[in-house]
Structure 1
Amino acid sequence: MDLGLSGRTALITGGDSGIGLATAGLLLGEGARVIISDLDQAELDRAAASLTAGADRDAVDQRLYAIAADITDPESIARLRKEVASVGRLDILINSAGVTGATGAFHEIDDDGWEDTLAVDLMGPVRVTRAFLDDLRFSGHGRLIFLTSENAIQPYPEEIPYDAAKAALLAISKGLSKTYGSDNLLINCVSPAFIRTPMTDAMMDKRADELGVSTMEAVESFLAEKRPNIELKRRGEPEEVASVIAFLCSERASFITGSDYRVDAGSVASIN
């Protein structure tokens, strides 16, 4: 299926691994120019090399850019905007960068834990979106995607700062869709659950150590005890989320805005 993305320019924060990296691969395959961004340039360079492996390297290299930036730092975001402008006016922004952040019972998490989590998971997407908003509004094909989570509407008590940040992004996305719909800027959320990413790898490695079991056994017990509504009884793959993101970035999704797409194998128990 032709998604109508050839020649479009997309920026993906958190693009050096997981869902961001998988999305970059799909958009490149559709002919888009893709800028992946994250904190570490060396990691970005390795990610870029993985995207060109086995491909028509020259053709992909001309459309792939890796630019390090810190989404918690306004000056770093300003530099990122200048570098992206040298590639071309932005059509698509995918806010994929995020961290689990501070965890524990509510009374155990101090202000620093809250502020560190919200700096990345809430204010990072807010600042990046604000920096690129005019590009998206006047693109003619503006697409803005926020990566939220099942936690946004099914909060987990040990991850309340993360829950709150992701719920806020749902509200922001809906509000922005009403503000900028007249500019033909389409704004949506994608809410994954328990995807095989470095973030959940770290969670499962920690669980395995705590329980004295293998990582596979940690995943199985986590599914049984913590995510019983994941009906497929497995972690999702980054590509399974990326395919939904790519669709929402495409011409095929030209009448969709203000929506939240769950990619969670049924993990969220409610219907709304």
Structure 2
Amino acid sequence: MDFQLDGKIALVSGADSGMGRETARMLLAEGARVAITDQSRQSLDEALHELEHLGQVAGFVADVTKDDDVSAMYAKVEASLGSPDILVNAAGITGAQADFLDIGDDGWLETLNIDLMGAVRMARVAIPAMRARKWGRVVLFASEDAVQPYIDELPYCAAKAGVLALAKGLSKAYGGDNVLVNCVSPAFIATPMTDKMMAKRADERGTSVDEAIASFLDEERPGMVLKRRGRPEEVAAMVVFLCSERASFINGANMRVDSGSVQTL
């Protein structure tokens, strides 16, 4: 299928690894010019080394918790590639994990500042030029946790619920300008984030990582009937579709890529 992305300019945050990097890879394969951004110059350079053979790609360091950083990064993207037609915000952290009563304000604020306010800052710099051109695609990463919260990571759940509300509000505000805003909600994807989670679980239980994954699926994610972690490319495929002209009538949606983890309609 031709996604009609040839020549489009995309900005992908959190693109140094995992789902963000795979999204950048697929956008390049579809003919888009891609800017990737993250906090680490080293990890960005590693990603660029993997991606540069696929097309025009550039990397820019930015901290999504800092408004000045995001604005400066966006200006560099405009100067290097042009004004982005597409924004994919994949930057995020698991954040503070503990019983609710044991998590202080610092844990809450750090998680919200990255996972929710990072999306706010990225959308704020990208949407004006999209509106002016009457064409834009914004895809924000939410999570299964946004609608199916888990008691040991409530800051993350609340932040991702905020992302869903943010995307829905933006879709209403700017859909009339043909700036379409949607969310993708993955569940338990094979990324560096879940690698660390499973390594910790294996260490605590004295098992192998594979056994830790199997027990996590059985005990914590019984709705994931495929009984495996998702692959980054399975999420990226949905993101790229939402970025495309083929998704021209989808606005304000939350697309779950979760193996059935969310056990409601």
TM-score, normalisation: structure 2:
0.98
Distance 2:201 2:131 in 1: 44
Q: Which residue of 1 aligns with 2:92?
A: 98
| Cα distance in structure 2, aligned partners of 1:129 and 1:220 | 37
How far 1:102 sits from its partner (Å)? Answer: 0.2
Hey, what does 1:70 align to over in structure 2?
63
Alignment match of 1:83 (pick from 76, 84, 89): 76
Give 1:84 shift. 1.1
Match of 2:37 in 1: 37
Unpaired runs of 5+ in structure 2?
none
Deviation at 1:74, TM superposition (A): 1.1
1:207 matched to 2:201? The reply is yes
* Aligned match of 2:135: 141
What secondary structure is seen at the aligned counterpart in 1 of 2:91? coil
Assess if the C-alpha contact under 8 Å between 2:140 and 2:184 holds in 1.
Answer: yes
Shift of 1:127: 1.0
Q: Percent identity?
A: 53
Alignment pair present for 1:193 and 2:193: no
Return the letter of the residue paired with 1:21: R
Q: List gaps (5 residues or longer) in structure 1.
A: none
Per-residue CA distance 1:227-261 (angstroms, 9 max, x = gap): 00101000000000000000000010000000000
Distance between the aligned counterparts of 2:200 and 2:70, measured in 1?
32
Check the 8 A contact 2:135/2:177 in 1, yes or no. no
Q: Is the 8 A contact 2:17 2:47 kept in 1?
A: yes
**How far is 1:221 from its partner?**
0.3
Q: Does structure 1 conserve the Cα–Cα contact (< 8 Å) formed by 2:127 and 2:179? A: no
Which residue identity lines up with residue 224 of structure 1 in the other structure? D
TM-score, normalized by length of structure 1?
Answer: 0.95
Matched-pair contact (CA < 8 Å) for 2:23–2:233: yes
C-alpha distance after superposition, 1:50-108 (max 9, x if no partner): 123xxxx3x62xx1011110000111111111101111011000010000000011000
Q: Contact between 1:13 and 1:95, CA under 8 Å: does it hold in 2?
A: yes
Q: Which residue of 1 aligns with 2:228?
A: 234
Q: Are 1:177 and 2:168 an aligned pair?
A: no
8 Å contact from structure 2 (residues 10, 85) kept in 1: yes
Other-structure match for 1:50: 50
Q: Deviations over 1:5-41 (max 9, x none)?
A: 0000000000000000000010000000001100011
Q: Which residue of 2 aligns with 1:6?
A: 6
Local SS of the residue matching 1:145: strand
Contact 2:60 2:73 in 1 (8 A): yes
**1:89–1:139 CA contact under 8 A, matched in 2:** no
Q: SS of 1:266's equivalent?
A: coil
Whichever residue aligns with residue 66 of structure 1, its letter is: G
CA–CA distance in structure 2, aligned partners of residues 257 and 69 of structure 1: 28
Compute the displacement of 1:141 (Å): 2.5
Deviation at 1:132, TM superposition (A): 1.6
Separation of aligned partners in 2, 1:222 and 1:170: 26
The answer for the alignment partner of 1:132 in structure 2 is: 126
Three-state SS of the structure 2 residue aligned to 1:138 is helix
Counting matched residue pairs gives 264
Aligned to 1:246: 240
Once residues 167 and 74 of structure 1 are traced to their aligned partners in structure 2, the CA distance between those partners, rounded to angstroms, is 22
Q: Following superposition, which runs of at least 4 residues in structure 1 exceed 3 angstroms of deviation?
A: none
User: Which residue of structure 2 aligns with residue 219 of structure 1?
Assistant: 213
After TM superposition, give the deviation of residue 137 of structure 1 in Å: 1.6
Whether the 8 Å CA contact 2:146–2:161 is kept in 1: the answer is yes
1:20 corresponds to which letter in structure 2?
G
